[in-house]
Amino acid sequence: MEVVGPNTTGDPIVDGHEDLVYDSKLGFCYGESKRQAEGAVLRANGRKLHNGGSLVTCSLRPTYIFGEGSQFLQLHLDQALQNGGVFHRISKKEALANPVYVGNVAWAHVLAARATRDPEAATRISGNFYYICDDTPHMSYSDLNHVLGRELGLGVEARLPLPFPLLYFLASIMEMLSLLLRPIFRFVPPMTRHLLILLNTTFTFSYKKAQRDMGYKPRYTWEEARRLTSTWMAAVLPQRKEELRKK
């Protein structure tokens, strides 16, 4: 979804769709690199192949992916363990996202691949992009961490550590410091303006177009996704505790 935003001013999207016009002045290299890559893929649609056929391409834009093996979830889990079993509040409660379970993202890729091989379906998806999400309830990133870790006895902080404008100012200072130190020392800011806006902007989408064009329907329910992810978190918890204890 970072192909489209959030933009630098943090304009929200609620139940966005593929025809939505959005001022996607990204201003950040990460999202811009995704946009350029997607553009290359979609421009390749219809390219003639050596066997006489034509290349069929489409692009999938998953929302925030959670599930077993998630590096982000493991990072947040480690931080919670170091914070007395409480997840840090990294996003305002009202900044809603619609996370998507990794199994449903994988299923969407399978369906897209099948569609490219079916002449009728290929005509529908050819050169198009699709938002991929599921029926996970809309919530902030921090509250998703809490919901997934609640049964493990993990809590979440009630509010951001500082008011958002002050956090944005500090992120700007850290980015400037990183730039100044670059010739002699590699300083990676723990928070950037891009990440701060991403985590604190309501950004939700609909998967109706993917459902219509390629028959996409979430293969895993929210309850199944939550249970599978929480079970994985419970399995890695003792190991993470031991590794953190040794540091």
> Which residues of the chain are modeled with pLDDT < 70?
26-27
User: 108 lies in a domain?
Assistant: yes
In a domain, 211, yes or no: yes
* Residue 4 resides in a domain: no
Residues 6 or more apart from 72 whose CB is under 8 A from it?
66
Q: Global pTM?
A: 0.91
C-alpha span between 202 and 197 (Å, rounded): 10
Residue 96 inside a domain? The answer is yes
| Domain limits for position 148 | 13-160+200-246
- The one catalytic residue in 30, 101, 130, 216 is 30
Report the CATH number that the domain containing residue 128 is assigned in CATH. Answer: 3.40.50.720
Whether 193 is covered by a domain: the verdict is: no
Number of domains within the chain: 1
In this prediction, residue 246 carries a pLDDT of: 79
Residue 18 inside a domain? The answer is yes
Asked if residue 191 belongs to a domain, the reply is: no
Q: Are 237 and 49 in contact (CB under 8 A)?
A: no
Q: Which pLDDT does position 208 carry in this prediction?
A: 97
Q: Is the peptide bond before 6 cis (omega within 30 degrees of 0)?
A: yes
Which pLDDT score, from 0 to 100, does residue 27 have?
A: 67
Please say if 168 is a catalytic residue: no
Looking at residue 135, its pLDDT comes to 96
Tell me whether residue 178 is in a domain.
Answer: no
